[in-house]
């Protein structure tokens, strides 16, 4: 008999909880601050998820939620703020939550409460575009853009569509600029630790230590010695374990952007890369 992914995950939780009780038997799950890991799609969410799983080995959390909280369902329906808030409120103290949430007023009000820890991972929009096109074309046949991308002659044509967006024949994809505006909004939130995917890859130790510091800013003392905690988090990271893994590298856009793609990106996104700190000016 086939078991659905949702049911399979529900069956796993009691076992994970029992293991965590044994691991943290001298501590309570109610002491550690609530943690939520947030991401833009194709920006390193599964890398962040691995770090969150590692945190369960360094502080009294039983497990990380197996299913993300999404703004848009897999069927393409935009969920209401009430539905999302209900999911957020349902996360028990022992569980680390994660998802793909927009910086709406309701989400910010809940997540940015005093005593909570929020991580938001983002990535160079150019690498996100390349990852998105490969994912929607070759890896996820159920993606809303899959059939359309397959109908185009080559990667260059698909990338142009991804940059400028499209709205025709029932297809709706916002421009790369509009899709990136939420990054700027999360960056403006003082109660959210924003993490660049590139830093988590290229400056790993400093980034992981900063994530541990973020927990202790709430006044909670992590029970695992810092050196040991860092080692645990490093061992938890393995990008190839992600089912959406393709390259795990930074700056890969350079191998895929034509001069025409560059000019189109600059026309559509303006100084977005400067605002995000990826370029000093538009002469790239």
Q: According to the model, what pLDDT value does residue 200 have?
A: 94
**Per-residue pLDDT tens digits for 31-52:** 899 999 999 988 999 999 999 9
50 or 28: which leads in pLDDT? 50
Structure tokens at 256: 């895929």
Structure tokens at 49: 């998820």
Q: Region 243-252: what's the mean pLDDT?
A: 61
Q: Region 216-240: what's the mean pLDDT?
A: 93
Q: Region 164-168: what's the mean pLDDT?
A: 92
Q: According to the model, what pLDDT value does residue 248 have?
A: 54
Q: Region 146-154: what's the mean pLDDT?
A: 93
**Per-residue pLDDT tens digits for 47-83:** 999 999 999 999 999 999 989 999 987 667 889 999 9
Q: How confident is the model at residue 170 (pLDDT cuts 50, 70, 90)?
A: confident
Q: According to the model, what pLDDT value does residue 4 have?
A: 52
Q: Region 209-219: what's the mean pLDDT?
A: 98
Q: Determine the 3-state secondary structure of 230 from DSSP.
A: helix
How far, in Å, CA of 138 to CA of 245, rounded? 12
- Helices 204-216, 226-236: axis angle to 10 degrees equals 120
Q: According to the model, what pLDDT value does residue 103 have?
A: 96
Query: Residue 69: what are its φ and ψ, rounded to 5°?
Result: -90, 120
Q: Region 161-186: what's the mean pLDDT?
A: 93
Task: Report the candidate in 217, 236, 216 with the shortest Cα–Cα distance to residue 226.
Answer: 216
Q: How confident is the model at residue 243 (pLDDT cuts 50, 70, 90)?
A: very low
Query: Token match 């209401």: residue?
Result: 80
Q: How confident is the model at residue 15 (pLDDT cuts 50, 70, 90)?
A: low
Q: Region 108-118: what's the mean pLDDT?
A: 97
Q: How many CB atoms are located within 10 Å of the residue 208 CB?
A: 24
Q: According to the model, what pLDDT value does residue 142 have?
A: 83
Assess if CATH 3.40.1000 describes domain 11-123+179-239.
Answer: no
54 or 142: which leads in pLDDT? 54
Burial of 89 from C-beta contacts in 10 A (0-12 / 13-18 / 19+): exposed
Helix, strand, coil percentages for the chain (3-state, nearest 5): 50, 10, 40
CB 33 within 8 A of CB 215: yes
Structure tokens at 100: 């793909």
CB 51 within 8 A of CB 239: no
User: What are the structural domain ranges in the chain?
Assistant: 11-123+179-239, 126-177+246-275
Which residues are within 8 A (CB) of 151 and not within 5 positions of it... i.e. 6 or more apart?
A: none
Q: How confident is the model at residue 2 (pLDDT cuts 50, 70, 90)?
A: very low
98 or 140: which leads in pLDDT? 98
Does the pLDDT of residue 194 top 80, yes or no?
yes
Does the pLDDT of residue 1 top 50, yes or no?
no
Q: Region 146-172: what's the mean pLDDT?
A: 92
Query: For 37, which DSSP code?
Result: E
**What is 178-226 written as a DSSP string?**
HHHHHHHHHHT-TTSEEEEHHHHHHSHHHHHHHHHHHHHTTTPPPSS-H
How far, in Å, CA of 37 to CA of 68, rounded? 9
CB 160 within 8 A of CB 151: no
């Amino acid at each position: 008999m086939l078991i659905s992914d949702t049911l399979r995950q529900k069956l796993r939780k009691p076992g994970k909880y029992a293991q965590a009780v044994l691991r943290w038997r001298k501590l309570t799950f109610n002491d550690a601050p609530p943690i939520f890991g947030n991401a833009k799609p194709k920006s390193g969410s599964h890398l962040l998820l691995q770090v969150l799983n590692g945190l369960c080995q360094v502080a009294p959390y039983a497990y990380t939620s197996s299913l993300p909280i999404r703004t848009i369902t897999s069927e393409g329906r935009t969920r209401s703020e009430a539905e999302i808030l209900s999911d957020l409120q349902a996360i028990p103290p022992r569980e680390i939550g994660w998802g793909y949430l927009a910086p709406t007023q309701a989400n910010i009000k809940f997540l940015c409460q005093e005593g909570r820890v929020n991580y938001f991972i983002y990535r160079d929009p150019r690498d996100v575009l390349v990852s998105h096109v490969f994912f929607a074309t070759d890896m996820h046949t159920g993606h809303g853009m899959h059939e359309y991308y397959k109908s185009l002659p080559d990667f260059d044509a698909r990338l142009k569509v991804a940059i400028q967006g499209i709205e025709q024949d029932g297809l709706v994809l916002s421009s790369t600029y509009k899709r990136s505006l939420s990054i700027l909004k999360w960056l403006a939130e003082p109660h959210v630790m924003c993490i660049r995917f590139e830093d988590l890859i290229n400056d790993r130790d400093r980034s992981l230590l900063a994530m541990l510091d973020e927990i202790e800013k709430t006044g909670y003392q992590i029970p695992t010695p810092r050196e040991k905690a860092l080692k645990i988090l490093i061992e938890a990271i393995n990008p190839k374990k992600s089912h959406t893994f393709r390259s795990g590298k930074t700056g890969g856009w350079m191998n895929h952007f034509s001069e025409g793609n560059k000019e189109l990106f600059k026309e559509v996104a303006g100084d977005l890369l400067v605002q995000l700190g990826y370029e000093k000016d538009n002469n790239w």
